[in-house]
Structure 1
Amino acid sequence: MLLLDPARTHLVVIDVQARLMPAIFDGARVLANARRLVAIAGLLDIPVLLTEHNPAGLGGTVPELADSGPVIAKMSFDACGDPDFVAALPDDDEELVLCGCEAHVCLGQTALGLMSLGRRVIVVQDAVGSRSPESKAVALRRLERHGAEIVTTEMVAFEWLRSAEHPQFRAVLNLIK
């Protein structure tokens, strides 16, 4: 199926960390969209998994997202290099929607690692950041060339809902506006 299936989706939030976010270009927008995705996932009972890269150096996940789901601390840029992350992944047929930082480092390498494991990877471009816009743009082009789907927060929200008749439609719409 080409549309996202909310019954088979996992949201993966990569390294949205307190000391990193101030350095991210348009970081407030990236964080706002990551928060929207996490909130929508909560409304729709979609599981969330978070990573933190070198939390001793970069701090923990930003407080707004810290309690969103299990957190995997890692040192490898590609989270797939950490056995705890791989063990926490859902079944092979689950779609993995990724947001976070940095597009050209940890998020990018994790997306490539997941695709090398045969996973369907969806990257939410307006909820992904890098320190420079050029790095983000190049990373997104590379990921798309290698098979990642590039979408927006609204695309994810409305694909998860499927219909204006969904019981959570109004609540999700309020988060999008």
Structure 2
Amino acid sequence: MLVVIDMQGRLLAHLDGGERLADRVGTLLRAASLLDVPVVVTEQNPDGLGGTADGLAAHARSARTIQKHTFDATLEPTFVEALPPAPATLWVAGAEAHVCVLLTVLGLLRLGYRVEWVADAVASRRAADRDVALERARQDGAKLTTVETAIFGWLGSYRHPRFREALALVK
């Protein structure tokens, strides 16, 4: 399952590398749709920050969207109910790396999930905050990965019937 944290337009504009983040998360969402990987999207305080950015929302149509008011999404019962049973592997991306993404990753690890943190698909307002969050998550047991590694992992083989379509997403 792909977990996309708080990719809201009002937030993205303030992030270091927000445009690139939207591009990388968009690629993950397109690949997840293509390869039938289930997706959960969170929105932090949507009344204040708005919904998922328009360009991303189009790729997340089949995703389950969870509105949250906690920084750690695992404190929202509807979020936990949307997840497969632990110890499933969850790929996590989104914003902000050092707040909602990190706290959710730590919560997922506490619940027994295997977490693949998609390192090139997270951002914070300051690059240093992102870097510290990635290191903290790694120290606590999350595995760091990239968008391309996640997609090729979902494919499993070049013999996958959708290989060429997925390859086109990363070229």
2:169 alignment partner in structure 1 = 175
Aligned ranges 1:99-110 → 2 under 5 Å: 99-110=93-104
2:149 to 155, 166, 176: 155
The SS at the match of 2:86 is coil
Q: How far off is 1:160 after superposition?
A: 1.1
Alpha-carbon distance in structure 2 between the residues aligned to 1:27 and 1:70: 23
One-letter amino acid matched to 2:56: L
Distance in 2 of aligned mates of 1:12 and 1:98: 5
Give the Cα–Cα distance (whole angstroms) in 2 for the partners of residues 167 and 52 of structure 1. 33
Question: What are the superposed Cα offsets for residues 108-162 of structure 1, whole Å, 9 maximum, x if unpaired?
Answer: 0000000011111111011111011000000000000000000010111111112
Kept in 1: contact 2:87–2:112 (CA 8 A): no
Question: Does residue 11 in structure 1 map to residue 11 in structure 2?
Answer: no
- Tell me, in whole angstroms, the C-alpha distance in 2 between the residues paired with 1:152 and 1:170: 19
Query: 1:73-99 deviations in whole A, cap 9, x for unaligned?
Result: 001000011111111111223211000
- Say yes or no: does 1:138 pair with 2:129: no
* Residues 16-68 of structure 1: CA deviation (Å, up to 9, x unaligned): 00100001111111111101111111111110000000111111001122251
* Count of aligned positions: 168
Pairing partner for 1:33 from 21, 24, 27: 24
Alignment partner of 2:47: what SS?
helix
What one-letter code is carried by the residue in structure 2 that aligns with 1:97?
W
Q: What SS is found at the alignment partner of 2:87? A: coil
Letter matched to residue 36 of structure 1: T
User: 2:50 corresponds to which residue?
Assistant: 59
Are residues 1:164 and 2:164 paired? no
In the superposition, the TM-score normalised over structure 1's length comes to: 0.92
Runs of 4+ displaced beyond 4 Å: none
What is the letter of the counterpart of residue 28 of structure 1?
E
Which amino acid letter does the alignment assign opposite residue 69 of structure 2?
M
Q: Where do residues 31-110 of structure 1 align in structure 2 (5 Å cutoff)? A: 31-67=22-58, 68=60, 69-110=63-104
- Partner AA of 2:20 in structure 1: R
CA RMSD, aligned part only?
A: 0.9
Alignment match, 1:111: 105
Rounded Cα–Cα distance in structure 2 between residues aligned with 1:84 and 1:170: 36
Moved more, 120-129 or 63-72: 63-72
Quote the residue 1:4 is aligned against: none
Query: 1 CA distance for matches of 2:157 and 2:57?
Result: 30
